[in-house]
Structure 1
């Protein structure tokens, strides 16, 4: 099998030696909802700000009147909380007098984000210590042992762990026919006795007992094959206590936060509930399908509780080298953090060393300090204040039912890393993973700043029939066409800084491209929040700061000086930054990509998306095959340079105006589409 990709779009092609389509199948193309503007080759110059003393009378003070129009529905969440339970009721934000508004904080966040891109500033919202974890392959792990928490973690110390004896992952399991006798009342971690064993060495009769010798482990059934019976692991308790080091526990704490149970929506829905029901749809090849209530499992959480079963790897002297919440759980092998993959772009941490955005908008100290250092002040107050954007006419919020949206996952190396062409090796981690052989001696850099396309909505913003009630959320949005006005005030900034503020608020002028849009609010991958922003120069004001103290000249003509101020901003930046501006224009331009093709990686051809059949739509939404077949994994041990699943990256943005192809090929399961 020959595998090749074509730059720059790296479209997938899978052919066998005869030229026929191989065991992977393609069906049309799609455009990923997001892309990346590269980081400039030269990191930002960091220096001390001018301060707020007003010592320079030539600095500028004033206000900008801004008009905002929602080109697509605008989603602002988290407001209008009910006093009785502090839960947002989903309505559009309203002031006490009933005026709909965009909070100034939402406007500031959108403007600052674009300003950071235009100036090549630091990555302000950035976890420098982040290292992703990945699901382990489903393989028998005879060396992995079950254990039970006997004392919870406290004051930063790891929990106490009692080990179980080693067991056979194929035999020491309880069949669903035995489990169903307890009618869903089982809880993971319950103790039991095994009364008898069948001829294959598996338990065929059990009894629950508070002081039983065996421990039951129930896991989520979501990844199980429906045609095979549910079986729950059991292990016999030993008297041995495990030794859990701080570094192993720290890795667990980092990994657990990336699980589905820790998603914001899940945590908001279930609150302090520590367990979840385990249901299993058993659909054998022959026979009637059944829907079984197995019992309750523990939700993934860093707060392990006494009696909770876990899985561990144990070395000599009962030292635990790995701890997880399932036999095949997650691993984190990279030794290179996100900050090390974006060296020079870490968030500003000193008030005397600030990038252009932090000098203008302000900076908080991102570092946690020891108690004796907490009086140290490393933050800097910004020079710009954003007022709320008030709706200019009556507005009725539109109710929408949103599909599930997971948190961004930088561990998806196909998208987030600047990849090199490397051959996969059988048995090694897929090349997409941080820490795989694709990193080599110099770990791959992060691709850049993430931006969502300003693309028209095509139905991806609506929940589909196969999305369960637990997965979707209901919200109210400002309708398309809603107009707002806001006032932005600034104090003691120079001409280049004011020019940068104007350029960010009116990117079409600065980037010499018409109809550019800026995202405000949430739901960006779904097409929400596309806004046109315009500075009303006629109703804005510009003074010299010295006029407040009777020093120097007074009012300046902002309308006449706007172009010169923007040019002053451009001239203040180095060429490595401004050379990327054409790419910024592309991500803000609604015409760059065809909106009808924007979707997270589909699992079927577009015809199924539009067929009206819920099963077809569900198949289309399942992008597992794409991520699996583009991960750079090799399992076959074929000739070097040939991979079962070549590493395929998102297309790069290019400065060539004629090159705008951002499409990738849909990958479907073999046999589902004729060649």
Structure 2
């Protein structure tokens, strides 16, 4: 067997490519008979059966699961000292595979999701003003906002000097800004053909210098230093309060919530279950003025889905200054994309809601209408026909702890990977990667999501970058977990009731995909967490199938002679052509070691070394995202849109991008 590509490099070399941890199986267009009434539970029809499937599961890579109680949330689930896989985990995995193989609806799908994006550096415009929250409702939505005059930018060091130190430079602090005139307006930079101008309170050569005194009619806004270049001055915006107030529109509040949803503040708060505090959450801001390192600037307020009286924000105010149409936490902040997820998938694949009209998966696993909105108290759910047991170990199973790197929520807003791309090149203004980019999305035809997301399965976990790291991942979002070792074996059962022969075959195909899918190579399933890191690859085998009819169950008739292969053959024959057409790609997505495990990682900041790694070797590479978003720059030229390789492509590798690659062709 020839050496794998990464083995051909010596320990000092680093590959300049990576393979993204996930790919997409394209959606299919359902036919007219996609949804129909299920069998029901009132009787066992002549062509329906009940029975039990016994399945053997073997971990081909370490299998990571979290505890099912708060007391042992970081440990593998146990019954006493016995590790086991909860039935709920297995049911979720198998249902997801059934949706993929049998062609089910998108059951776990946030059809209202719309991403938020960072603003490009440009002037806000005269209709943007600082506002101070005056009143809020019980949910934390502002009901009254006090509008300020045009903002004046004040050096943070000067504010600290006036207010008695950085500890007193807090968003909402009060000062008086005196002697600022039009002569203090400065212009600088030029990005995307926009000149940035603003009033600055700096010490100039004029007879009457601007003055800052504590206490008074202006409020201070402190924002994060993350997007600012080091070794320059750090300014905070101030706004003089007026007697004008404005109300907030529904769209402005909705878009604000979308914009903050993907921020680091929100991700950390979500993990710590601190999304709705009782007061603004202050966070220290530091800035690197010189070689001495970061110095304290002051305290900003973290992003949260509720606001409090006294908080200061930017707002886009209408001409009458009575209505706020947009909110932002900083001058360069975030904005929502357009066209929610429901408009980016085949409409027929949206989650089932009517219990009399169910997709192939909901007819077997059940359906729950979680949308609400009905005035009548009607039951619009359907109980499934399958029941899973816990998976219990066969023989001795050992576990070991792991320190896991920060893993945030998926980011479907990265249109380079998540959206189909009928456009190429770069655009001025709004990057092509964004949901709603006017150069790429049309209102009647928004670009679709690429398909159903699948993580690559690899058996050689020792080759994956995460398992080659020497050292410990640190940071607020790093976490601990426990996994069973590769080779651990488990057995579980699935009981079914009221399924046809073809439906039994579909269940078997989801339990062991190799029974139904075409092609060569070992197929697997993914169980548990940490899949982007290389955890969770498992093989499954149907050990036994027992089937009964109504006659054999209740009248002592002979049970049906149904072999797994016969049931799967019936499923294959009954599957619609549009579903069968996806099976070669489904098989490719589930094939173990389809890609080189050594290169499977999110875009890194530099090439991945071939041998042992440090946590720093796997730090995120933001240059890849910046250089692939499809944006024309005034100075360095275009950053062309670069799409994730399609599943049907043989080569799944992508190049690593570093700052020296800016402006260079892909």
Q: TM-score, structure 2 length as denominator?
A: 0.86
Q: Deviation of residue 179 (structure 1)?
A: 7.7
Look up the match of 1:39: 27
Say which of 79, 85, 94 aligns to 2:78: 94
Alpha-carbon separation, structure 2, partners of 1:564 and 1:611: 48
Look up the match of 1:214: 218
Tell me the matched-pair count: 617
Q: Deviation of residue 100 (structure 1)?
A: 1.3
The answer to whether the 8 A contact 1:593-1:660 is kept is no
The answer to whether the 8 A contact 2:433-2:630 is kept is yes
| 1:252-289 deviation digits (Å, cap 9, x = unpaired) | 223322222222665416565541422414152xxx32
- Specify the SS of the correspondent of 2:657: strand
Describe the shift of the 1:165–1:673 C-alpha distance in structure 2 as closer, same or farther (beyond 3 A): closer
- Specify the SS of the correspondent of 2:52: strand
The answer to whether the 8 A contact 2:469-2:613 is kept is no
Alpha-carbon separation, structure 2, partners of 1:225 and 1:181: 26
Say which of 139, 161, 165 aligns to 2:145: 161
Q: Deviation of residue 139 (structure 1)?
A: 2.3
Look up the match of 2:453: 450
Alpha-carbon separation, structure 1, partners of 2:499 and 2:247: 57
1:325 is aligned to 2:329: yes
| 1:110-134 deviation digits (Å, cap 9, x = unpaired) | 1111110112211111111122221
Describe the shift of the 1:122–1:339 C-alpha distance in structure 2 as closer, same or farther (beyond 3 A): farther
The answer to whether the 8 A contact 1:163-1:242 is kept is yes
Describe the shift of the 1:103–1:601 C-alpha distance in structure 2 as closer, same or farther (beyond 3 A): same
Say which of 566, 590, 593 aligns to 1:564: 566
Describe the shift of the 1:61–1:613 C-alpha distance in structure 2 as closer, same or farther (beyond 3 A): closer
Matches for 1:68-83 after TM superposition, within 5 Å: 68-82=57-71
Describe the shift of the 1:402–1:572 C-alpha distance in structure 2 as closer, same or farther (beyond 3 A): same
Look up the match of 1:51: 40
Say which of 112, 116, 135 aligns to 1:151: 135
Describe the shift of the 1:380–1:668 C-alpha distance in structure 2 as closer, same or farther (beyond 3 A): same
RMSD of aligned C-alpha atoms?
2.9
1:496 is aligned to 2:502: yes
1:529 is aligned to 2:536: yes
| 1:58-85 deviation digits (Å, cap 9, x = unpaired) | 3111111111111111111242322xxx
Q: Deviation of residue 177 (structure 1)?
A: 5.5
Alpha-carbon separation, structure 1, partners of 2:487 and 2:175: 63
| 1:370-420 deviation digits (Å, cap 9, x = unpaired) | 4x23x1111100000111111223434311111111211111111111111
> Bigger shift: 109-118 or 502-511?
502-511
1:248 is aligned to 2:233: no
- Specify the SS of the correspondent of 2:230: coil
Q: Deviation of residue 235 (structure 1)?
A: 1.4
> Bigger shift: 428-437 or 662-671?
662-671
| 1:287-331 deviation digits (Å, cap 9, x = unpaired) | x32332334322211111111111101112222111122222111
- Specify the SS of the correspondent of 2:78: coil
Look up the match of 1:585: 587
**Could you list the runs of 5+ residues in structure 1 that have no partner in the other structure?**
1-25, 83-87
Alpha-carbon separation, structure 2, partners of 1:172 and 1:72: 54
- Specify the SS of the correspondent of 1:400: strand
Alpha-carbon separation, structure 2, partners of 1:111 and 1:141: 50
Q: Deviation of residue 506 (structure 1)?
A: 1.4
Matches for 1:251-650 after TM superposition, within 5 Å: 251-263=255-267, 266-268=270-272, 270=274, 273=277, 274-284=280-290, 288-318=291-321, 319-370=323-374, 372-373=375-376, 375-426=377-428, 428-436=429-437, 437-440=439-442, 442-455=445-458, 456-457=460-461, 458-460=464-466, 468-512=474-518, 513-537=520-544, 540-550=545-555, 553-558=557-562, 561-607=563-609, 617=616, 621-636=619-634, 644-650=638-644
**Could you list the runs of 5+ residues in structure 2 that have no partner in the other structure?**
1-13, 180-200
- Specify the SS of the correspondent of 1:115: helix
The answer to whether the 8 A contact 1:110-1:519 is kept is yes
The answer to whether the 8 A contact 2:524-2:590 is kept is yes
Describe the shift of the 1:140–1:674 C-alpha distance in structure 2 as closer, same or farther (beyond 3 A): closer
